[in-house]
Amino acid sequence: MTALGLAYFGLMTRLWYLQVVRGNDFLTQAQTNRLRHVPLAAPRGLILDRNNVVLGTSRVRHSISIVPAALPSARREPEERLTILKSLGFLLKMTPTEIEADLEDARRKRAGIYDPVPIVEEADLATITLIEENKWRLGRAVLVTDDIKRFYPQGALAAHLLGYTRAVDEHDLERNQEEQKTDPSVRLLKFGGVIGKSGVEREFDRNLAGTEGSDQYEVDARARPVRRVSTIPEKAGQTLVLTIDAKLQRAAENALSQARNSGAAVAIDPRNGEILAMVSRPTFNPNVFSLPRRSFNKIWNSINDNPKKPLINRAVNSRFPPASTFKTVTAAAGLQQGTLSAGTVYNCPGGYRLGGRFFGCWKTHGSVDLMGALAGSCDTYFYQAALKMGDPESSGPDYLAQIAREFGLGQETGIDLPSSTAGLVPDPAWRQRLNQSRPELAHWFPGNTLNMSIGQGDTLVSPLQMADLAATLANGGTLWQPHIFKELRGSKIEKSTPVVRHKVAIDARNIALVRAGMRRVMTDGTGRAFNLPQVAIAGKTGSAEDANNALPHAWFMCFAPYENPTIAIAVIVENSGHGSENAAPVAKAILEAAFPKPKAPKVAPELAQATP
C-alpha cells in the first residue's frame, strides 16, 4: 500500500511539474507546432533622381506556386501527390517531372518547406482563372501568389549606375553567413528573397530591401496548412534619392549611343562632388533581370557572351591612358615647381629628339608659349617642360607623379558604388618593383618621362577620375569625394554630407593659368568647333594610343561656366580617333542640356507684321 501511495504521489508530482511549472513552455511549443509562417515579400524602396523622376520602383506580378509542406509526401502518399501534379501540369501545360524538378531545385537551394515555390511566373489572367476554378482538385498546396518584381520605368537609362536585382542564390547565402559572423547587423538573406547585385541596388541594398511580412497558418498533424490565422504586413524599403539629373543622363546616353564605339561619360558638380550623370556603353536593360526564369535564361546568354562586356561600368571600372588631358597636370606641376611660367616659350619643329630617338608631335607648332601649347595640344612643349622639372630619371617623374596624385589620380575615388578602379600613376620606384625579376626593365628612362608628360605610356585613369580632375581645376583646387547618394526618405530623412578629400598643393594663381589655357582650347584651340555661344566652356582634348588598335581612344574633359563652374565632364570613346572629333560632341550634348539656348522672346502678331 505504501508503494502504491508513493507511486501515486510521484505521478501527481510529475503532472504538477509538467502542467504548472512547464505548462507555459509546452503551450508555446504546441502553438509553434500548430502554426506556421508563410513569408510575404516587401517591395523595395523607390529610386529617384534629384528632381524626383522615378528610376526604380516595384510591380506586383502573379505566379502559380506550390507550398511544399502542403503537398502530399512523395514517400507516404505518392499516388495523391502524383494526382495533384498531373492535374496542375495539365492546366499549366507541364509534366509532373518538370514540376518536381522545380521543387527539387528549390529544396537544393535551401528553401523552407513553407516558402512558396513559383512554378509559373507572371501568370496571365486566363491561367490564374483556370487555377482558381480547379482549386477543389489541386488542394491547399497550389496557390496564386503575388510576387514583387523590380521595375525600371526609364528602361536602360542609368543602367550601370542603378544596377539590377536577382533572387538570392547559394553564393549569396554562403557569403551572407560569413558576413553575419563578423557583422551581425548585416541583412539576413533567405531563399526566394531579392538582393541588389550591382550598382546602387547593391550598395544601398540594406536600405532599399524593406521588411518581410508573413501569413500565419494553422496546420494539421502532417504540418499541412488548414487555415490562415493572421497576417503580419510587410514594410516597403526606404526611398533613395540620387544626385543624378535624368535630363542630363538621357542627353549623355543619347549622344554616346551615336558615338563610333564603346565608351563612358561622367558629369560632376565641382562645388560638392555630386554625380550629375554617369554613362557606360554598351549598356543593358535592367528589367531583363526581373523576367521569369525561363525567359531570362535565353536573354542572359546574349548579354554574358557579348565580347564588349555590356555589364561592365566603364565609367568607374575601366582604365585608359589619359593622353593630352594629362597635360593640364604637367602644366600645373611645372608652374608650381617654378620651372614653367605663362611666358615660357619652346619651339616645336614637329617633335623632340632625345638621344637617338625622335618623339613626335601631332603637328609642327613652331614657337609656342604655355597658353598656346595647351590650346594647340603641343606634345613637344610638354616634353621639354617635363625634362626641366629635374632629373628626368628620378626627381622629374617623381614630382610629376606627386602632383598627379594631388589631383586624385592613381587612387580610389571613394565613390559610393560597389567597386571602382584606382588607376595607375607610375614613377621610378613603381617601375623597379614591377620588374624585380628583370633588372634590364627596372630602370626609368628619360623617354618614360616624356611619355608620362603627355599622358601616354603606363599612366592609367578612369573616366570618373578625369571628371574629378576637371572638377578640381574648375573649382580652384578642392578635390571632392564623388558621390551619388543625395537623400534617404523613410521614418526619418537622411541627407548626404559632401566630403572634401583635400585641397591640392597647387597655388591658386597656377591653377588659374591652367584654367585659362583650357579656355583657350575652346576659343581658338583643338576644341573650338564645339564651343557654345550660351555658356563659356574650358576644356582639353586627348587621343590615347592603343597598342592593340590603330585608332586611339578619344578623350575630352571640360567644365562650365568658366567663371563660376557648376558642371565638369569627362568623356572617352574607345578606339575612335581624335578627342575633338569623337568625345567632344558627347560633352557638348550634355552641356546643351545643362545650358539650353534661351528662347527668343515672343512678339505680338501685330508688331511682327508692322512696317516702319
What φ, ψ does residue 567 adopt, rounded to 5°?
Answer: -150, 140
Our separate counts of H helices and E strands in the chain read 25, 23
Report the run of H or E that residue 285 belongs to, with start and end: none
Are residues 151 and 56 in contact, defined by beta-carbon separation less than 8 angstroms? yes
- Do 217 and 224 meet the contact criterion of CB atoms below 8 Å apart? no
3-state helix, strand, coil in the chain (%, to 5): 40, 25, 35
Judge whether 576 counts as a catalytic residue.
no
Three-state SS for 405?
Answer: helix
Closest Cα to residue 288, out of 300, 306, 301, 305?
300
- Other CB atoms closer than 10 Å to residue 422's CB: what's the count? 16
Q: Quick one: cell of 199? A: 550598382
Spell out the residues 6+ positions from residue 274 whose beta carbon is closer than 8 angstroms to its own: 50, 243, 268, 482, 483, 484, 486, 498
- Cβ partners under 8 Å of residue 606, min gap 6: none
Pull the grid cell for residue 543. Answer: 587621343
Residue that has been written with the C-alpha cell 549623355 in this structure: 252
Residues in the chain: 612
Contact 354, 446 (CB under 8 A): yes
Determine the Cα–Cα distance for residues 48 and 244; give it in Å rounded to an integer.
9
Catalytic residue among 65, 324, 377, 576: 324
Under a CB-based contact definition with an 8 Å cutoff, are residues 80 and 143 in contact?
A: no
251, 218 contact by CB (below 8 A): no
Which active-site residues does the annotation give?
324
